[in-house]
Amino acid sequence: MALPKRIIKETERLMADPAPGISAMAHEDNLRYFDVIITGPEQSPFAGGVFKLELFLPEEYPMSPPKVRFLTKIYHPNIDKLGRICLDILKDKWSPALQIRTVLLSVQALLSSPNPDDPLANDVAQHWKENENAAIQTAQEWTRKYAM
Amino acid sequence: MADVPQHLSALSDILGPDVDLATLEKLHVISNGDLNRAINHFYEGSYHTVTNPGVPAISSTISTSKAPKIVSANGGLGSIYRDDQPRISIVGAKRKAQDSFFPKYFGELTVIAYALGGMVKIEAGEEVLFDRKRPNSQVQHGRKKKGLGSVSIGWGRTAKENHVVRFTKQNGFEIGRLQVDTSRWVSKLMDYKLAEFRGTIILAPPQLRTGAEIVLTMRCYLTAEAFSSLGSNQKLTLKSKSGQPVFVNEAQETEDEVDLKQKKYAVNALFRELALTPVATNTSVGPRDRGIDIHDGSTTEGSLAASNGEDNENEQEPEVSDKELDVLYEKAQQHGRAFEPMDPPKTMTYTLKPYQRVALAWMYNKEVLETASDNHKALHPLWEEYEFKKEDGYEPKLDEPKKYYFNPYSGEMSLEFPTSDKLCRGGILADEMGLGKTIEILSLVHSNPMNKSSIDTPEEAFSRLSTSTSASNSTSTDKQSSPTTLVVCPMSLLSQWRDEAINSSDGSLSVEVYYGAARGWTDSSLQQKGAPDILITSYGTVLSEFSSLLNNSGADTSKSLTNMLDIKAQNNWKKGSALFNVEFHRVVLDEAHHIKSRMTQTAKACYALNSPRRWVVTGTPIQNKLEDLFSLVHFLRAEPWSNFSFWRTFITIPFESKDKDKALKVVTSVLEPLVLRRTKMTKDENGNPIITLPERIVEIEYLKFSEQENDIYQALFKDGKTKFNHYCRAGTVLKHYASIFQLLMRMRQVCDHPMLVLNNRTKQTEGKDSSELALDMKDGPIQLEELMKKFSSGEGDNSEQTFGASVLQNLVSSTGEVTECPICYEELADGVLMPCMHSACRSCILDYLQRLDNKGEMGECPICRKGPITEDSLIEYTTLSVSDSIPSDAKEEEEKRSGFVAGNVLDAGAETNGGRVVQIRRNNFKSSAKLEALMKHLNELRKTEPKTKSVVFSQFTGMLDLVEKILERDGFQFLRLDGSHSHVAREQTLQAFRTVDHPARVMLISLRAGGVGLNLTTASRVFMLDPWWNYAIEAQAIDRVHRIGQLKPVIVKRFIIENSVEEKILSIQNRKNALASGLGMTKLEAQGARMEDLQEIFS
């Protein structure tokens, strides 16, 4: 069994006790590859949207963070058009005590509180800073367009 | 004879009672009162005809006592007269050219000479005379010429010497000159007044033209000068050429050396040309087959420099291989069998073993000096016996000497039989380690105390005369004699000597130690009644007293050895120096290889110690080089070998050139009368081994590195290999030897324990050295209660406190929930706590911390990110059940897997709760493969043979520190001995270890400190943690345990890491090539061997 016990356990727990608004399923062919669905949090411009993500557990996991990417188009200052996420715990602030669940929860939280001062998508962040309302509008539009 | 007038008494004594008064008177008149001339006239028979006595211009000192005299007639060689030989006393005087003493016909040879010009008429059968132009010294600056054409005076200037020898008619008209080859040596003989020549023309062309060949016979007559001292010999220089007393220093020696060499060359050439062969030689060292080119007396720079430069002694001299050593010692071993074994008097309570009695007999006989008429009539090894040739037409008188003796090595000739010197009252006791040399010496002290031999025989008087100060200075009786035997030994053996001396005597022997602050003896007190029989002191004490004496007298310590003696005589020693102002009854140097280098101050200090009976005790008289032996011989004042130039010329140089065998033969003959050596293997006359010891088993245990250790080792190895290859390519390997050695040393340290090498791994611990890092046990076992207190009370985050408290509570409670590791999500394997009380598996958290470190980040708790956390700040805990003191196997397994040791010591202060004990400790001790292996053995030993004591050796005191820690953990009581301990502390430690019931069963000893002389026979197990380059050192250490007094078989375990530098060292040891040259290797080959070794190591 090449798969570390931890991954197995996590997967089991994810199945047994999923977090609200988050669903993560391991792929059949590759147990390190997860199909993730996050619903847009209430009170956020992404509310009502259903966003698809992919999550991959690299070789050194849990010592190195999982790789997460948005598959659904989304208008967010910290998410670029490729779907890459600018989140500290996915990079330097990763800790092996964190797990898939917590990562996904953090992503969901990021949707609730965008941070234009630490941008990944410059133009979006610009927009968000200059005219937040307009940006929110756009975000909602995109949610309607792509995530529903 | 009665009524011999005063002025004739001396002459009468010398010539014997048969010469009547009238003759004596006549001789006296003829020689104008000069004794020497008178004697010569007497022997020549020419006193009947001589009318003109000539001008005596010599003052010679001749003693007129009636007792048989020993006067040096051979430049200080100290030969002893045989009673039936006429005695000629000529002491250190120089002659003028006109005095034709004793020209003794020696031989003749045919030469070809050539004529100069045609004015003279000669015919066959005509007598010719030879003469010399005065050598023309034209000083040429600049170039130093080598070879025969010039003489180097040692300051860079050369004098062109003139070899021309003319021969003339009886009336003085010059006929011609000798050929250059002949004239080279003839001229020297004539210049140094060693010989005269007369010749006869055999064949000459009728018309003499320049360059015409003339055939001559030359008859050679030796002067008395040739048979006297060939110039001032090195040791007892009294006067320089100007007649002033002078200190012998290196430069002065050179000039004399030059003369000596020239004369030697000339005389050897004479012998060669005259085709003289010896009648008898000392067969063991026949000069003809020695191959040493003694007849080539050219003053080559090399040999001059060699005898001149005492400072290039250490430049890569060839070492004596083991095979050669065995050969040398073999002779010495047989020597001991010649004597009837002897028992010491009853004052010695210890019963000697048979071979020890043999040793006592040998030593006793050596001290009680036999007179010259005894059994030492062996011809001095370097001399040859010749017979005078019969001169045509001349009948020798009956009482003329028929034989003479020639020393081709120094060019000296003598009419007296030169014996192997017997003035050395002492020797080298070189029994193998552990055979009981101490006891043998003590038995000698008992057997030959002062009172018996307090009456000086004349020999003793002379020996004191010649061995203490220069002969001209007869103030040696400044020093009063003391009945004390002085024993000098290494500091660590002071008490051992004292105890053995006391225990082996019935109380009548008084023993004192002269060391440190308790130096209660002065020179005067040592000469009085209350003086101890044995005074024991250390090399350090001798050295320091000597140094302070020199400082006080303002002497220059760089001058030569004989210089020391001169100063001593001339300046008054400061009063109060107990050691140097007293003539001890006997001096013994224990572990005498401490003075093996004669250049050290310690050696010089020992040489200056005063006693007619001098002994040297050592297990290995020759450790590496032949010069080691020289130092001992010099201390013993065994003439003539104790003279360094002599030794160098006749032993060192032949040994360095290809003449090893011959040189070894000489050394053997030197050693034979001086050395007694037996080994544990020696058999007595019945073929039984002289001692039986229990068996000794040496096993090598091969260990494997743990992964982490291997990583560190490989890193170092690669580093070293890179450096080595770099040096190889640059060709500078041997120049950078030191740094390569340092690398090797670090690699060896890693094999012991990585901590010895690793620098601090975190910024936090900067400033602490590696051993501190490994051993930061300051906090020691953390008391559980304290921890709980910290968390339940005091300031801080409430939740944190509660959490911590609950964790601890959890640990102790018997339910002991199983926690999950936050990293691997499995049950906590070998769990550790972080300071924030979060827990994780040890390996998981360490892995994490390592990664952070690799990224250059601070270590922190994965859960709460609290930092900084390092490995050491992790808290480990173990749980034991109360009844066991030995950990459960399961725990051990875990530990082994992770490669670290948590240690399991029952701590009395730990919490107990329902049968479980929790021990909390900082996680900062790591073990190593060797430590593990050692503990495995020690634990097993404790179980199976609890009374057995063991000794653990290591070269690195850092390693011993780590062993201490691990022993503490496992509840072993131990003792420690290394170089840093004071004398008193060492004594206590040794005493404790020797007590059979003492609870400390393990002794840790540093290899160097403990290797020497200690008696550790209460132990029967030896663990060598690391190998040394030279197996002899390890063997010596093992011999501390496996020696006389050992009752059980000795098992030795040597720990070696597989596939490491240690294995390579072993193979090098086995090749006996340990960075030294072997038999017959040149310097280049030796270097090659070293390179090979290094390449093997780095392969």
Is B457 inside a domain boundary? Answer: no
> How far, in Å, CA of B197 to CA of B178, rounded?
12
Bond into B640 cis (ω within 30): yes
> How far, in Å, CA of B1081 to CA of B318, rounded?
8
Residues of A in contact with B848 (CB under 8 A): 63, 96
Please indicate, yes or no, whether residues B179 and B288 belong to a single structural domain of this protein.
yes
Question: Is A95 part of the contact surface with chain B (CB cutoff 8 Å)?
Answer: yes
B244-302 pLDDT tens trace: 333 333 333 455 566 777 777 788 888 888 877 777 665 444 333 333 334 333 333 33
- Residue with the larger pLDDT of the pair A89 and B212: A89
A47-85 pLDDT tens trace: 999 999 999 999 989 889 999 999 999 999 999 889 999
Give the residue from B898, B952, B954, B962 showing the smallest Cα distance to B769: B962
Question: Is B822 part of the contact surface with chain A (CB cutoff 8 Å)?
Answer: yes
Q: Residue B112: beta bridge partners?
A: B215
- Chain B residue at shortest CA distance from A62: B823
Q: Which of B820, B823, B824, B825 is the best mutation test for A, with the most CBs of A within 10 A?
A: B825
B63-84 pLDDT tens trace: 333 333 333 333 333 333 333 3
Average pLDDT over residues A19-27: 91
> How far, in Å, CA of B180 to CA of B186, rounded?
10
Q: Is the pLDDT of residue B858 over 50?
A: yes
Is B682 inside a domain boundary? Answer: no
Question: Would you call A62 and B823 a contact, using CB atoms and an 8 Å cutoff?
Answer: yes
Q: How far is B863 from chain A (nearest CA, A)?
A: 5
Please indicate, yes or no, whether residues B390 and B260 belong to a single structural domain of this protein.
no
| Reported confidence tier of residue B331, pLDDT bands at 50, 70, 90 | low
The encoded tokens of residue B506 equal 């019935």
Residues of B in contact with A10 (CB under 8 A): 825
| Reported confidence tier of residue B806, pLDDT bands at 50, 70, 90 | low
Domain count across chain A? 1
Contact B701, B1053 (CB under 8 A): yes
Measured CA distances, A51 to A125, A135, A146 (Å): 20, 19, 8
Give the residue from B654, B613, B671 showing the smallest Cα distance to B449: B613
Q: How many Cα atoms are found within 13 Å in the side-chain-facing hemisphere of B275?
A: 3
Please tell me the least confidently modeled range out of B628-642, B784-798, B941-955: B784-798
Please indicate, yes or no, whether residues B851 and B798 belong to a single structural domain of this protein.
yes
Please indicate, yes or no, whether residues B535 and B645 belong to a single structural domain of this protein.
yes
Is B119 inside a domain boundary? Answer: yes
Q: Choose, from A86, A103, A110, A147, the residue flagged as catalytic.
A: A86
CATH code of the domain covering residue A45: 3.10.110.10
Instruction: Provide the phi-psi class of B599: left if phi over 0, else alpha when psi is between -120 and 50, else beta.
Output: alpha
Q: Which helix (H) or strand (E) holds A139?
A: helix A132-146
Looking at every residue in chain B, the average pLDDT score rounds to 68
> How far, in Å, CA of B441 to CA of B445, rounded?
6
Is B333 inside a domain boundary? Answer: yes
The encoded tokens of residue B1021 equal 């197990």
Please tell me the least confidently modeled range out of B493-502, B681-690, B937-946, B963-972: B681-690
- Residue with the larger pLDDT of the pair B1063 and B300: B1063
pLDDT at A39: 93
Question: Is B865 part of the contact surface with chain A (CB cutoff 8 Å)?
Answer: yes
Domain count across chain B? 5
| Reported confidence tier of residue A105, pLDDT bands at 50, 70, 90 | very high
Please indicate, yes or no, whether residues B544 and B617 belong to a single structural domain of this protein.
yes
| Reported confidence tier of residue B106, pLDDT bands at 50, 70, 90 | confident
B847, B851, B862 member nearest A97 (Cβ): B862
Question: Would you call B847 and A97 a contact, using CB atoms and an 8 Å cutoff?
Answer: no
CATH code of the domain covering residue B540: 3.40.50.10810
Contact B515, B535 (CB under 8 A): no
Question: Would you call B825 and A9 a contact, using CB atoms and an 8 Å cutoff?
Answer: yes
Is B1031 inside a domain boundary? Answer: yes
Question: Would you call B824 and A10 a contact, using CB atoms and an 8 Å cutoff?
Answer: no
Neighbours of B780 (CB within 10 A): 11
* Angle between helical axes of B983-994 and B494-503 (0-180°, round to 10): 50
The encoded tokens of residue A75 equal 């208008």
> How far, in Å, CA of B222 to CA of B106, rounded?
6
Is B78 inside a domain boundary? Answer: no
List helix spans (H) across B813-888: 842-855
Start-to-end CA span in chain A (Å): 39
pTM for the model: 0.48
Percent pLDDT > 70 in chain B is 60
Q: Which helix (H) or strand (E) holds B38?
A: helix B35-44
CATH code of the domain covering residue B120: 3.30.70.2330
Average pLDDT over residues B336-358: 78
Please tell me the least confidently modeled range out of B118-122, B233-237, B1005-1009: B233-237
Please tell me the least confidently modeled range out of B137-146, B821-830, B1001-1010: B137-146
Percent pLDDT > 70 in chain A is 98
> How far, in Å, CA of A31 to CA of A25, rounded?
9
A1 carries an active-site annotation: no
Is B460 inside a domain boundary? Answer: no
> How far, in Å, CA of B19 to CA of B27, rounded?
11
Please tell me the least confidently modeled range out of B50-59, B754-763, B989-998: B50-59
Average pLDDT over residues B860-868: 84
ipTM of this complex: 0.88
- Chain A residue at shortest CA distance from B825: A6
Q: Is the pLDDT of residue B91 over 60?
A: no
Q: Is the pLDDT of residue A107 over 90?
A: yes
Question: Is B844 part of the contact surface with chain A (CB cutoff 8 Å)?
Answer: yes
List helix spans (H) across B228-374: 250-273, 301-308, 322-335, 354-367
Domain extent, residue B599, equals 322-366+378-444+468-676
Please tell me the least confidently modeled range out of B34-48, B306-320, B381-395, B887-901: B887-901
- Residue with the larger pLDDT of the pair B348 and B1071: B348
Residues of A in contact with B824 (CB under 8 A): 4-6, 62
Q: How far is B845 from chain A (nearest CA, A)?
A: 9
Please indicate, yes or no, whether residues B1019 and B994 belong to a single structural domain of this protein.
yes
Q: How far is B833 from chain A (nearest CA, A)?
A: 15
Q: How far is A99 from chain B (nearest CA, A)?
A: 9
Residues of A in contact with B865 (CB under 8 A): 95
Domain extent, residue A121, equals 5-146
Average pLDDT over residues B326-336: 61
Q: Which of A3, A6, A14 is the best mutation test for B, with the most CBs of B within 10 A?
A: A6
Q: How, if at all, do strands B1002-1006 and B949-954 pair?
A: parallel
CATH code of the domain covering residue B939: 3.40.50.300
> How far, in Å, CA of B439 to CA of B385, rounded?
43
Q: Residue B482: beta bridge partners?
A: B584
Among candidate residues B876, B898, B922, the one where a domain is terminated = B922
> How far, in Å, CA of B1071 to CA of B1090, rounded?
12
Percent pLDDT > 90 in chain B is 3
Among candidate residues B864, B895, B922, the one where a domain is terminated = B922
B508-537 pLDDT tens trace: 888 888 887 767 666 666 666 677 889 999
Quick one: CA torsion of B744, B745, B747, B751, rounded to 10 degrees? 140
A6, A62, A95 member nearest B865 (Cβ): A95
* DSSP state letter for B379: B
Average pLDDT over residues B13-21: 76
Q: Is the pLDDT of residue B566 over 60?
A: no
Please indicate, yes or no, whether residues B256 and B342 belong to a single structural domain of this protein.
no
A110-136 pLDDT tens trace: 999 988 888 776 788 888 888 889 989
Please indicate, yes or no, whether residues B700 and B617 belong to a single structural domain of this protein.
no
Please indicate, yes or no, whether residues B270 and B395 belong to a single structural domain of this protein.
no
- Residue with the larger pLDDT of the pair B693 and B55: B693
Hey, which residues 16-75 in chain A have their CB within 8 Å of chain B? 62-63
Average pLDDT over residues B657-670: 74
List helix spans (H) across B925-1013: 929-944, 957-969, 983-994, 1007-1010
Please indicate, yes or no, whether residues B534 and B612 belong to a single structural domain of this protein.
yes
Q: Is the pLDDT of residue B1065 over 50?
A: yes
Strand order in the sheet with B696-703: B696-703, B1050-1057, B1019-1024, B949-954, B1002-1006, B974-977
Question: Would you call A96 and B844 a contact, using CB atoms and an 8 Å cutoff?
Answer: yes
> How far, in Å, CA of B859 to CA of B870, rounded?
6
Please indicate, yes or no, whether residues B759 and B644 belong to a single structural domain of this protein.
no
Please indicate, yes or no, whether residues B851 and B979 belong to a single structural domain of this protein.
no
Neighbours of B735 (CB within 10 A): 11
Q: How far is A132 from chain B (nearest CA, A)?
A: 34
